[in-house]
Amino acid sequence: MSDTPELYALLVGIDRYHPRSRVPTLRGCVHDVDAMEQLLLRKYGVPTDNIRKLTNEAATHQAIKPFVTF
């Protein structure tokens, strides 16, 4: 048994927002979560099943809601 806690990650990166949001298109957010995912996998050995990555259109309130606990 390991003293290291099991790690989980929710990674959210949005470059393209809905046009009605009036948020300008960003650059690099999706790239950043891709890089973070690789860091978690390679350096920290986080299992793929413990990482949830939501980008652009997939990053909805509905998709994120199951991960939010209060």
**Nearest alpha carbon to residue 57 among 22, 31, 19, 27:** 19
What are the domain boundaries of the chain? Answer: 9-67
Q: How confident is the model at residue 3 (pLDDT cuts 50, 70, 90)?
A: confident
**Nearest alpha carbon to residue 58 among 29, 36, 23:** 29
Cβ(37)–Cβ(49) under 8 Å?
Answer: no
Span 15-69, pLDDT tens digits: 999 889 899 999 999 999 999 999 999 999 999 999 999 999 999 989 988 887 6
